[in-house]
Chain A
Amino acid sequence: MSSLSRSRMSPLQLAGLAAVLAVMVILPFYAEPFLMQAGLFAMAAAIGAIGLNLLTGSTGQLSLGHAFFLAIGAYGYVYFAAEPDSAHHLSGWGLPTPVAAVLAIALAGVAGGLFSPIAGRLKGTYLGIASLALIFIGQHILHNAHAVTGGSNGREVPPLEIFGFVFADTPELVVLQVPFRALEKLWFLNLVLLVAAAWIARGILRGRPGRAMNTIRDHEIAAGVMGVPVARYRGAVFVLSSMYAGLAGVLLALAFQRTVPDYFGFILSLEYLAMIVIGGLGTVAGSIVGAVLVSMLPPLFTRYSDALPLIAASGSGGLDAAQASRILYGAVVIAVILFLPGGLMGLWMRLRTSLALRRKVRPS
């Protein structure tokens, strides 16, 4: 595995990457708003999933508290960026929005740091149980710290504004005769940030820290013997993973345009775990594939249910699209765990190796 992953990208891979990028750039010019919206969620989720994968996939630390850090990113951004609103008893700092976004990510990191005495000492499933508490603390705060979070009503998310360029519906920007509204503008922002986040994570995983993390996952004592400061690494990865979640949270807030506390619950944490398991533990590409699959599958299913065979229209009594997508989703998770321990990326790797072997064998 490691010899493969350390190799440079092959021309074929580069071409593939370029093709994907090209499609992502062209999409906003054609896709309907619904797809854009779902795509925004998927890209934000991909960043969050990369963060969780660094922690769970690469270092072997289970976290069920990922939704908590997503919430810190989202609400942190809103709190730092919003003007105080005395009519609704809401406070805010009214900072420039990019500063607010950076601060929100930093805040998520700090929250992760505060948890690191625990994150550094506990391993595997024990950390999972401990981090579960964060979800419940988070839900309590979100519902009750009304001045900061807006309570159950949630809060309006101020649109991001970078050097006078506003990521909102107005002013409308027309690019190549296509009107660019909030969705299209945010699409490119998310795309750039996703590429950057993936590139950084790839760098970490392929360098010295990545190897140290994998060793901690595979054999903690061996890592310690080789001079890896295990507790410090675990704490640090937890902070990093929280910051990824913070960034994802900011992007989710921007995509939602309004934060609602009910979203950041236990189910959300489980969805992120499902993403990295389905995509493939310990790989960046796997996180992205998993995030896209988990967050796009249900909405696509409901959207195009009319065209699918064997699926009844919603509300007509039969097996409807939403139920079908849930069943399918469950089936995919079970199938991946049973048959593809490496997730979809693992399957891809296996296919590639076997193809390469066959190619080598044939000429002789």
Chain B
Amino acid sequence: MKSTLRSAAVSLVALALAATAAGCSSDKATGGSEATGPDGVKQGPGVTDKTIKLGIATDLTGVYAPLGKSITQAQQLYYEEVNQRGGVCGRTIEAVVRDHGYDPQKAVSIYTELNNNVLAIPHFLGSPMVSAVKQRIESDKMFTIPSAWTTALLGSKYIQVTGTTYDVDMINGVQWLMDKKLIKKGDKLGHVYFEGDYGGSALRGTKYAAEQLGLEVFELPIKPTDRDMKSQVAALAKEKVDAILLSAGPQQAASLAGIARSQGMKQPILGSNSAYSPQLLATPAKPALVEGFFIATAGAPMSADLPAIKKLAEAYSKKYPKDPLDSGVVNGYGGASIVVSALEKACANKDLTREGLINAHRSEANADDGLGTPMNFTYFDKPATRKTYIIKPDEKATGGAVIVEQAFESELAKNYQVPVGTF
């Protein structure tokens, strides 16, 4: 009893002391008011007279580390080039890179930090991470480009999903398979997909296309931890599918293609954009991937015949000679250019606040940075483009992939109603 009394007394004293101490000045008390620079430009968080800070919340140690690294390095390359040209609005761009290791909790902490000191987040990797802070992005008005292409992230003014969503890619892809006579009406598609919004988004597209084109769909959900596709291949063989669709990771792609081909299955395989990475060509799965394996993606491959991409490939290989030229490079570079062109517009409006930045961005109806994916940013309840490239692995090409079909928008994809904020 005595000890309880004593500890209670001590706690009270502690609280009293604490309260007194807290009364003293704290720089938290001042609160961040928006300032105006000497050049008359209104400045938001992360903007000073000399610098503009941009946040990169990426994965450098988790499952998507290779992708995160490519995107991050490509963005840093872009900012370096911009700074060499004299920066934006007379200010140099400074990237604040943070690694969340594909852990939502770390991502929330990182976002809280970035919210304090950056103007926008041109690269935020992973839909679970972006979903975790979606409401905060809205209330903080943080212009964010997620590196995830699910329809679940559509519908927010502040979140710009670049390129197509997974469902649109699949619709265009299935249509392309029909056009090329690789499948015909009444055929059966086997779709192997990750449970969750990535696979779910893609499957939705497949089902829509199948319904419109008179095809059947055999659904085969898997988990990211399933690496050996033996039983999936067996199931696909048993169902006698005429084409295989794949919305999973590169490891699954290698396993699935390798096992299917070794068992003499000759069906075409069509993957979502996250199902392939050029590193696969260095594995024993290579022979299986160079024949009859296609990827539907909104991003042009590094081998595309576009001056901007050629320049990028050269600059990137010069700066990071050891790193592969995968789809993340074009993607990250493109994301950085979207934010920088919004910054330039916002600067012309003399408003580098978060509100000013997003309004500048949303006024762009025909953004084309020469990287092969023109987009419209004036709406956010639909994908910014519905054009999909069909590419295929090729070990001789820069970046390990070549274009099979130039970007196109099928009639089906044009009329497709995209779900918003869900999948």
Contacts and interface: CB of A to CB of B under 8 A. Distances in A.
Interface string A1-32: 00000001100001101110111011001111
A34 B116 contact: yes
A153 interface: yes
Given A18-B13, A313-B97, A315-B73, A258 B196 contact: no
Contacts of B115: 33
A25 B61 contact: no
Nearest to B194: A152
B328 to A, nearest CB: 12
Interface stretch (A231-239, A242-250, A316-324, A344-352): A316-324
Given A88-B421, A258-B132, A178 B99 contact: no
A37 B108 contact: yes
A91 interface: no
A144 B196 CA distance: 9
Contact of B29 (A31, A169, A177, A260): A177
B422 A153 contact: yes
A25 B14 contact: yes
A338 interface: no
Interface string B34-68: 00000000000000000000001010110000000
Contacts of A315: 56, 58, 60, 69, 72-73, 76, 95, 97
A153 B97 CA distance: 25
Contacts of A153: 131, 152, 197, 421-423
Contact of A326 (B27, B61, B110, B196): B61
Nearest to A306: B96
Contacts of B422: 88, 153
Contacts of A316: 76
Interface in B2-50: 3, 6-7, 10-11, 13-15, 17-19, 21-23, 26-29, 31
Interface string A123-162: 0000000000000000100011000000111101000000
B110 to A, nearest CB: 7
B61 A322 contact: yes
B240 interface: no
A262 interface: yes
A13 to B, nearest CB: 10
B292 interface: no
B104 A263 contact: yes
Given A33-B116, A143-B196, A326-B61, A258 B134 contact: yes
A25 B58 contact: no
Given A34-B109, A326-B61, A25 B76 contact: no
A179 interface: yes
Contact of B195 (A18, A143, A177): A143
A341 interface: no
A179 to B, nearest CB: 6
Interface residues of B, number: 62
Contacts of B128: 152, 154, 260-263
Given A14-B10, A153-B422, A30 B72 contact: no
B98 interface: yes
B131 A257 contact: no
A295 B108 CA distance: 13
A313 B94 CA distance: 12
A138 to B, nearest CB: 13
Contacts of B131: 152-154, 258, 260
With most chain B CB atoms within 10 A of its CB, the pick from A30, A38, A257, A260 is A260
B28 A29 contact: yes
Given A15-B10, A37-B112, A152-B152, A257 B135 contact: yes
Contact of B113 (A30, A143, A262, A303): A303
Given A153-B197, A257-B136, A262-B104, A320 B99 contact: yes
Given A21-B11, A143-B196, A178-B28, A299 B60 contact: no
Interface string A214-248: 00000000000000000000000000000000000
A188 to B, nearest CB: 11
B133 interface: yes
With most chain A CB atoms within 10 A of its CB, the pick from B11, B26, B73, B105 is B105
Contact of B103 (A9, A15, A29, A263): A263
Nearest to A20: B14
B372 interface: no
Contact of B18 (A25, A38, A303): A25
Contacts of B136: 257
Nearest to A322: B99
B173 interface: no
Interface string B86-99: 00000000010111
A257 B110 CA distance: 15
A302 B103 CA distance: 14
B116 A32 contact: yes
A47 to B, nearest CB: 15
Given A29-B26, A303-B113, A260 B132 contact: yes
A9 B2 CA distance: 11
A298 interface: yes
A68 interface: no
A213 to B, nearest CB: 23
Contact of B105 (A8, A22, A41, A317): A41
A34 B423 CA distance: 32
Given A29-B26, A29-B28, A8 B113 contact: no
Contact of A25 (B19, B101, B110, B133): B19
Given A152-B152, A315-B73, A26 B132 contact: no
B200 interface: yes
B165 to A, nearest CB: 14
A314 B104 contact: no
With most chain A CB atoms within 10 A of its CB, the pick from B101, B103, B109, B133 is B109
A317 B323 CA distance: 10
Given A18-B13, A33-B116, A179 B31 contact: yes
In the A-B complex, the 9 residue pairs with the closest CB atoms = A34-B113, A25-B18, A314-B97, A322-B99, A152-B196, A29-B22, A37-B112, A18-B14, A315-B72
Interface of B: 3, 6-7, 10-11, 13-15, 17-19, 21-23, 26-29, 31, 56, 58, 60-61, 69, 72-73, 76, 95, 97-99, 101, 103-106, 108-110, 112-113, 115-116, 127-128, 131-136, 139, 152, 195-197, 200, 223, 320, 421-423
22 contacts: A9-B7, A14-B6, A14-B7, A21-B11, A32-B28, A32-B113, A144-B195, A153-B131, A153-B152, A154-B132, A169-B139, A176-B19, A176-B29, A258-B131, A258-B135, A261-B128, A263-B104, A313-B97, A315-B69, A315-B72, A315-B73, A322-B99
Given A263-B128, A315-B60, 8 more contacts: A25-B18, A32-B113, A179-B29, A255-B108, A262-B196, A302-B99, A313-B97, A315-B72
